Structure 1
Amino acid sequence: MSTVTNTIMTTQEVAARFNELAQQELWFEIQEEFFADNVKSIDPPHSLYFGYAEGIAAVRQKGKDFVSKIRDVHGAHTTEPVVGGNYFSVGRNMDVTVEGFGRIQIDEIMLYEVKDGQIISERFFY
């Protein structure tokens, strides 16, 4: 008789896998693999680009809306994650041409909260 054990990934394990995918620019795959159904996505109050989205469908649409407006990628880089408790953060910089905004450079810190092996919130600081 074999016993199947469902193990929940630790924050460190989620961060490591997140990094593997981020280094390949596989952001929608990150959402599919880790985002909880009730995930929250929060941009700064002063953001010209986005605000708040809640729920996997709304957060996915927020990402799709941003990607659909990118006309050219001049460069993008994501740092290795730093883990603390149930959180991890990465630095991200992008140099992109965006419809309606022209060429912009975004330097940000992305903070993720993990619960039971799933990302329950993402916050962007820029």
Structure 2
Amino acid sequence: MNTMEIARQLVALCRQGKNEEALQTLFAPDVVSVEAVPMPDGQQEAKGMAAVKAKGEWWFANHEIHSASVTGPWPHGDRFVVGFQFDVTNKPTGKRMTMDEVGLYTVRDGKIVREEFFYDVGM
């Protein structure tokens, strides 16, 4: 698949809530995922499929999702961006919030090799 085909497939799978399938089929085994700020465990960067999967599992385990939407993709060469909007409650704190986030994805050899997330860090 080319970059735009991967981008469209990622958006389609995310809209269906098939994040695990997206990870397994579209991402490289050595993918790197970078957050705007460090996660609660102190890590800002997750390296490799297992670490990225664990990060996603932590997020879904710690947030009750009331609604979610995905916008895009918007391509730029071997990269593309996708918008994510969430209405969630953080389970540990009980705080409900809306999140507006952009993911920048880099593709090489038909797989996503890097994802970087941008969002308001004052949330």
Alignment TM class, shorter chain as reference = 0.7 to 0.9
Equivalent position of 2:88 in the other structure: 96
Q: TM (normalized to structure 1)?
A: 0.85
- For structure 1, the 5+ residue unaligned runs are 1-8
Mapping of residues 1-126 of structure 1, within 5 Å: 9-45=1-37, 51-70=44-63, 72-101=64-93, 102-126=95-119
The percent identity for this pair of structures is 36
Conserved 8 A contact 2:74-2:82: yes
Q: CA deviation at 1:80?
A: 2.1
5+ residue gaps, structure 2: none
Q: TM-score, normalised by structure 2?
A: 0.87
Alpha-carbon RMSD across the aligned residues, in angstroms, is 1.7
Decide which structure has the larger Cα Rg and report it: 1
The whole-number CA distance in structure 1 between the counterparts of 2:106 and 2:26 is 11
**What is the CA deviation profile of residues 5-61 of structure 1, one whole-angstrom value per residue up to 9, with x for unaligned ones?**
xxxx11011111112212212111110111111101101136669621001000100
Secondary structure (helix, strand or coil) at the match of 1:45 reads coil
Does the CA contact (< 8 Å) of 2:38 and 2:45 recur in 1? no
> 1:47, 1:13 → 2: CA distance?
30
